[in-house]
Amino acid sequence: MEKIKSIIVDDENNGRENLRGVLHKYCPEVGVVAEAFSVMSGIDTIQEYMPDLIFLDIEMPGGNGFKLLEFFNPPNFKVIFVTAYDQYAIQAIRFSALDYILKPLDAIKVKEAVDRFKAYKEDNDVRLEQFLKNKELNSDNKKIALQFSDKIVYVQVKSIVQCHGEANYTRVYLACGKQHLVSKPLVDFEEILAGFGFIRTHKAHIVSLSHVNSFIKSDGGYLKMSDGSTVSVSRRKKDYVLSELKKM
């Protein structure tokens, strides 16, 4: 089985050694490819190794772990917080962390967190397979599956107007006026819809270019969509959005 490529970011040498030992003994499927001791060294290490999973401390020199995550927007890795502080749990949830483990380490909790990542990875692989199958279909028939606790709803990609991220959930807006609130973060939908004419206009919004009616320059800039809704365009994304609209 392919190793899970991981990085430990912790300013305490003992903390890194303890976690590395627990992973080696209880989670042999995890390969620690590098370690870092601060926010800046963590950013550099992540950019160099492009890991699947980060074990991240919170209080470190040069800022806390949340500052590191803000540098990657959105991150292309998953995060397990490992910290001696319990007051950051709610903030960790907002960053879509897989788990929040308190020191001193409990090996069982570390293993449970790794198992949670493996479940996420398996789900991601299923979505990738679905994406590839959709690519082979006629554009009018491409569908994605929206999974709920009691059912699975299949919707045509062409019917999706926009996706709005709401913490760990995403609200999917359809051209018919229906909305579906799905228990998956927006970054998952960004991956699923890649290549299907969707772009990110804001940290909380992905839109279908085929459903954009106009770009309004006032009030900082926003889009009017085919269903009558409006979507914010962040200042950082404005030039990118305009360039994509010109390609239509």
The pLDDT, as a whole number, for residue 107 is 94
Q: Considering Cα of 212, then 213, then 217, then 221, what sign does the dihedral take?
A: negative
Mean of the pLDDT values across residues 94-111?
88
Mean of the pLDDT values across residues 112-141?
67
Please determine, for residue 70, whether its predicted confidence score (pLDDT) is greater than 90: no
What average pLDDT does the chain have? Answer: 87
Q: For 112, list phi and psi in degrees, rounded to 5.
A: -60, -40
- Say how many domains are in the chain: 2
User: Same structural domain for residues 84 and 170?
Assistant: no
The pLDDT, as a whole number, for residue 169 is 92
Neighbours of 76 (CB within 10 A): 11
User: Same structural domain for residues 176 and 219?
Assistant: yes
| CATH number of the domain bearing residue 12 | 3.40.50.2300
User: Same structural domain for residues 26 and 71?
Assistant: yes
> 11 lies in which domain range?
4-127
User: Same structural domain for residues 77 and 112?
Assistant: yes
| CATH number of the domain bearing residue 182 | 2.40.50.1020
Distance CA 158, CA 137 (A): 13
To the nearest whole percent, how much of the chain has pLDDT over 90? Answer: 52
The pLDDT, as a whole number, for residue 130 is 57
Please determine, for residue 101, whether its predicted confidence score (pLDDT) is greater than 80: yes
Whether 133 maps to a domain, the answer reads no
User: Same structural domain for residues 111 and 181?
Assistant: no
pTM above 0.85, yes or no: no
Q: How far apart are the first and last CA of the chain?
A: 43
Whether 76 maps to a domain, the answer reads yes
pLDDT band at residue 138 under the 50/70/90 scheme: very low
pLDDT band at residue 141 under the 50/70/90 scheme: low
Whether 212 maps to a domain, the answer reads yes
User: Same structural domain for residues 64 and 23?
Assistant: yes
To the nearest whole percent, how much of the chain has pLDDT over 70? Answer: 91
Please determine, for residue 132, whether its predicted confidence score (pLDDT) is greater than 60: no
Mean of the pLDDT values across residues 96-123?
88
What one-character-per-residue DSSP string does 123-160 give?
Answer: HHHHHHHHHHHHHHS-GGG-EEEEE-SS-EEEEEGGGE
Q: Where is the domain boundary, 127, 149, 173?
A: 127
What one-character-per-residue DSSP string does 16-31 give?
Answer: HHHHHHHHHHH-TTEE
The pLDDT, as a whole number, for residue 124 is 65
User: Same structural domain for residues 28 and 99?
Assistant: yes
User: Same structural domain for residues 145 and 123?
Assistant: no
Please determine, for residue 227, whether its predicted confidence score (pLDDT) is greater than 80: yes
Mean of the pLDDT values across residues 239-246?
86
User: Same structural domain for residues 111 and 68?
Assistant: yes
Whether 164 maps to a domain, the answer reads yes
User: Same structural domain for residues 180 and 121?
Assistant: no
User: Same structural domain for residues 123 and 206?
Assistant: no
The pLDDT, as a whole number, for residue 140 is 58
User: Same structural domain for residues 113 and 172?
Assistant: no
Whether 132 maps to a domain, the answer reads no
Q: Where is the domain boundary, 79, 101, 127?
A: 127
